[in-house]
Amino acid sequence: MATQRETVDFILEKLRGPARFSVRAMFGEYALYADGKVAGLVCDDFLYVKILPASQELETICEKGHPFPGARLHYIVDEGQLSTVQNLSGILVSVAKSVPEKKKKAKPGK
């Protein structure tokens, strides 16, 4: 089931804060970016946050699941938790900071 754009807009509204958040559509679902790095996914109308030391705060309050078959396990932040999880935007920024920079591809020589 593809994520509805209204869900993505709702999540972005809840994440207002000092960091810059954006989304990019991919295969009917969305990647959630914090400061230009993927911090989570929006799939099946749920926010999935990468399980990293930076997101450890979510361990006791969120269920875990796979955003799509073959994906790694993520924390599932449901609609109700978007408003109640303290510092969700800060957690996502921390996740983004812990993700390594993309390596630039070398240009082929002539």
Q: What is the pLDDT of residues 58-105, one digit of tens each?
A: 999 999 999 999 989 999 998 888 888 888 988 999 999 988 777 777
> Where do the structural domains in the chain lie, given as residue ranges?
5-98
| CATH 3.30.1460 corresponds to the domain 5-98 | yes
| CB proximity list for 12: less than 8 A, separation 6 or greater | 21, 22, 23
Q: How many CB atoms lie within 10 A of CB 98?
A: 14
Q: Model pTM?
A: 0.85
Phi/psi class of residue 45: alpha, beta or left (left: φ > 0; alpha: ψ in -120 to 50)? Answer: left
Q: What pLDDT score was predicted for residue 80?
A: 85
